[in-house]
Amino acid sequence: MYIFSRVTIIGVGAIGGSVGLAAKARRVARTVIGIDIDSDAIESALRVGAVDYAVSDLDEGINGFMSSDISDNSFFSDDIGGGVRRRHKPEIVIIATPVSLVGRYVVDVSNIVHNEDYLRNILITDVASTKETICSQFYDIDSRLLQNDCRFIGSHPIAGTEKSGVINGDSNLFVNRLVAITPSDSSRELDIAMLLRFWQSLGAMVVSMSYMEHDRVLARTSHLPHLISALLAGQLRSADAKYTGTGFKSTTRLAAGKPAIWKDVIENNTDAILEAIKEYEEGLKILREYIEQKEWNKLTDFLENAKTKRDSLT
């Protein structure tokens, strides 16, 4: 028994592809539709089985269509008698694009939904690593921006690797991993329950928080670590490269992430990231003082505290 009839994913990269793979492997959705403007991404998503069907056109991907080129039109429609077929709508649309594109797609999806009753009432979510610049566009004023009774609630699966592309998707990516959802005070309880069920059905643990708190926390736990990793990698001297071992490579793993994606993340969470950098600089100043003043006991305490916290992570 499927939980959802149809799920549509906009952006079938590593995260979007993993959503599709997980939804299919766990029988979460009867049909998974992918939308991507990159023809190579579409081809790869179909090849690895992340989606049942993939298109580049938003209207086709959201509203469905009938075509002689599709062997099984039941993906898109039901026969309701008299030669009439009723198109399936997606109950949920997941936008897995760079942060700067999410808001536009939320509006576009709501505008493009056909007006017939059976095609209305879609819940839209995303997977972006920052939330304020997206959620603040729609929360509390969503009735003025979103059409056809579409609603938006932000999501962020705290999972993934530095690798990009659907070929690096993983059907088990979300198992026992945390997903933050960021509903507003005006979000419908049924929508929150639907979103909760969706992510839990992919194996995830779900926590609800405000979008502002999300961005402050992720600045410290994700965005700052990426910048530190990039700084270490960027300052590596060419002559020193042959002396790097597993420690350096582990510490700088995040720097291998796609620069355009991370530029987008940082640009959309600047205030929280700058505050995190300030706290980091203060800690670095204290650490430097320990070394300059030969405060070895304090340095040991610092290292012990760091080890205890790192060992506690699951």
pTM: 0.88
pLDDT tens for each residue of the chain, 314 residues long: 789 999 999 999 999 999 999 999 999 999 999 999 999 999 999 999 999 999 999 998 988 754 333 444 444 444 434 443 445 567 899 999 999 999 999 999 999 886 554 445 689 999 999 999 999 988 865 445 677 788 999 999 999 877 889 999 999 999 999 999 999 998 999 999 999 999 999 999 999 999 999 999 999 999 999 999 999 999 999 999 999 999 999 999 999 999 999 999 999 999 999 999 999 999 999 999 999 999 999 999 999 999 999 999 97
* Domain 4-209 indexed as CATH 3.20.20.140: no
Q: Which residue has the tokens 């309701």?
A: 80
Kind of pairing, strands 77-79 and 85-87? antiparallel
How far is Cα 284 from Cα 175, in angstroms, rounded to an integer?
A: 35
- How wide is the angle at C-alpha 7 spanned by C-alphas 218 and 39, nearest 5°? 85
Q: Residues near 82 by Cβ (< 8 Å), separated by ≥ 6?
A: none
Say how far apart CA 107 and CA 120 lie, in whole Å.
14
Sign of CA dihedral 287, 244, 158, 175: negative
Among the listed residues 228, 311, 241, the one whose alpha carbon sits nearest the alpha carbon of residue 276: 228
Provide the token pair at 243.
Answer: 């002396």
CB-based contacts of 286, cutoff 8 Å, min separation 6: none
Pick the CATH number of 214-312 from 1.10.3660.10, 3.20.20.70, 3.30.1330.40, 3.40.50.10300: 1.10.3660.10
Domain ranges of the chain: 4-209, 214-312
Q: Which residue has the tokens 């004023």?
A: 141
Q: 56, 39 in Cβ contact below 8 A?
A: yes
Are 185 and 241 in contact by the 8 Å Cβ rule? The answer is no
**Amino acid symbol at 22:** A
